[in-house]
Amino acid sequence: MKFADIMQSADWKAEKHVPVIEAPDSVKAGEFFNVTLTVGKEIPHPNTTEHHIRWIKLLFKPEGDKFAYELANFEFTAHGEAVAGANQGPAYTDSCGVARVKLNSSGTLLAMSYCNIHGLWESSKEIKVG
Ligand code: FE2
C-alpha cells in the first residue's frame, strides 16, 4: 500500500474535492508571487460539522530533483462546532489559502487536500522559472 493508492484525482471543474492551484505559468527567479489554493472553486464543497475540508498542503518538486519541499500548510478548524450542538456554532473557515512563494528553479507545484469523509485528493501545476 502506498499513498498513491488512496489518493484521488479528477478534473476540478467536475469534482468538488480537487485542490485548485492558481499561480502564474512562469515567474522570475527569486521574486515572490502568490499561489492560491482552493477546494470547491467551481462546485462548492459542504462546510458543516459533519462534512468539511480539514486541510490543504502545498509542495514543490524542482525539475530534476528527487525530493519535494513543503511550501505551505493550511488548516481549516472551524466548521460550526458549538456547545449547543453540531452546526450551531458562530464560526466557519472556508477551504482557501494564499501562500507567498519564490523559486529558484522550474518544477511542479503539488497540492493535497483532505476531506474528513472523502479522504485525500491531489492536483499539480507546472511552473517555469526564468
Ligand atoms: Fe467531501
Domain of residue 11, CATH code: 2.60.40.730
Catalytic residues: 15-17, 45, 51, 115, 118
**β-bridge pairing 33-39 and 19-22:** antiparallel
Q: How far is CA 125 from the centre of its chain?
A: 12
Say how many domains are in the chain.
Answer: 1
Q: Indicate the pLDDT class of residue 76, thresholds 50, 70 and 90.
A: very high
> Which pTM does this prediction carry?
0.95
Q: Are 42 and 18 in contact (CB under 8 A)?
A: no
Query: Which residues span the domain enclosing 93?
Result: 3-129
pLDDT of residue 124: 98
Q: Indicate the pLDDT class of residue 75, thresholds 50, 70 and 90.
A: very high
Question: How many C-beta atoms lie closer than 10 Å to residue 57's C-beta?
Answer: 19
Q: Cβ contacts of residue 84 below 8 Å, gap of 6+? A: none
Q: Are 91 and 105 in contact (CB under 8 A)?
A: no
For the stretch 21-70, pLDDT in tens is 999 999 999 999 999 999 999 999 999 999 999 999 999 999 999 999 99
For residue 116, the CA-to-ligand 1 centroid distance in Å is 7
pLDDT of residue 40: 95
Task: Please compute the mean of the pLDDT values over residues 84-95 and round it to a whole number.
Answer: 98
For residue 17, the CA-to-ligand 1 centroid distance in Å is 6
